[in-house]
Amino acid sequence: MQTATQRIALITGANKGIGFEISRQLGQTGHLALLGARDSARGKAAEATLKKEGLDVRFMRIDLNDPATIKAAADAIEAEYGRLDVLVNNAGIADPNADGPPSKANINAVRRIFDTNFSGTLAVIQAMLPLLRKSSSARVVNVSSELGSLARNSAPEWEFAHVKLIGYNASKAALNMLTVQLAAELKDAGIKVNSANPGFTATDLNGHTGYQTIPQGAAEAVRLSVLPDDGPTGGYFTAGRTEPW
């Protein structure tokens, strides 16, 4: 049951992996978690699982590549809640088979990855911004990756130096640019915007090769979703530490 003081969070790509766990953890801290998912059956299944755990959650159909679903979700949030307090832009894709180093990556795969990870996220932000402006202390968290760090990509000794996926890595670097520009634009509106790097986490995205658990991967995005009013904005963080751009 939604109350006047309960914070409302929208999480994209919430039907599985890190987004599902971010939703669970925000639900456990008392949020109403709106579970964005592009597939209704998968979204409803996630909703049923978290409801069984006693959490206040609701499936909302959002496909980052389908503007009509984004608008319909914004309209529904406006009609039913009148505001949005937290937006976690978690949905994302990778395609390590077709993506690759600049000399080899399939250009259509690169376009597809950018369409989701960058343009789709920007579209969600633009649609939700009027609702975030109605919150007294809104938070936007862009789920990035250390693979999006120009500094890390330039360092030959870096642990992931061999992962040169121009589509994926550049889409997360572009997402980081969105964090910086949006944070600057919203500085005086009381809306904090930050990039979270989950760390290498065992999910479908990487065939479960990551060495962190999903709760560990969700933790940084959750921390940035509940930042106090004197917390940072325009930052890029891994486990509470600043990540180099």
Report phi then psi at 58, rounded to 5: -150, 125
Smallest gap from Cβ 5 to ligand NAP, in A, equals 29
Residues 6+ apart with CB under 8 A from 20: 14, 35, 46, 50, 214
Pick one of 25, 135, 145, 194: the residue that binds ligand NAP (CB under 6 A): 145
Nearer to ligand NAP, 88 or 131 (CB): 88
Reference 55, options 87, 37, 28; nearest CA is 28
Q: 93 with 167: CB under 8 angstroms?
A: no
Residues 192-231 interacting with ligand NAP (rule: CB under 6 A): 198, 200-201, 203-206, 210, 217
Structure tokens at 118: 């960058």
* Interface map 111-130 toward ligand NAP (x if CB under 6 A): -----x---x----------
Smallest gap from Cβ 162 to ligand NAP, in A, equals 15
Smallest gap from Cβ 164 to ligand NAP, in A, equals 15
Name the CA dihedral angle for 118, 174, 17, 134, rounded to a multiple of 10 degrees.
-70
Using the rule CB under 6 A, is 91 a contact of ligand NAP?
Answer: yes
Contact range with ligand NAP by CB under 6 A, out of 62-70, 75-83, 152-160, 233-241 = 62-70
Nearer to ligand NAP, 167 or 217 (CB): 217
Strands 57-61, 8-11: pairing is: unpaired
Q: 113 with 171: CB under 8 angstroms?
A: yes
Is 211 among the catalytic positions?
no
Burial of 94 (0-12, 13-18, 19+ CB in 10 A): buried
Using the rule CB under 6 A, is 153 a contact of ligand NAP?
Answer: no
* Interface map 19-58 toward ligand NAP (x if CB under 6 A): x------------------xx--x----------------
Residues 6+ apart with CB under 8 A from 236: 144, 149, 176, 179, 194, 195, 197, 242, 243, 244, 245
Find residue 87's DSSP bridge partners. Answer: 10, 140
Give the integer Cα–Cα distance in Å for 77 and 3: 14
Nearer to ligand NAP, 15 or 135 (CB): 15
Pick one of 33, 47, 57, 63: the residue that binds ligand NAP (CB under 6 A): 63
Nearer to ligand NAP, 103 or 241 (CB): 241
Binding site for ligand NAP (CB under 6 A): 12-13, 15-19, 38-39, 42, 62-65, 90-93, 116, 120, 143, 145, 198, 200-201, 203-206, 210, 217
Which residue numbers are catalytic? 168
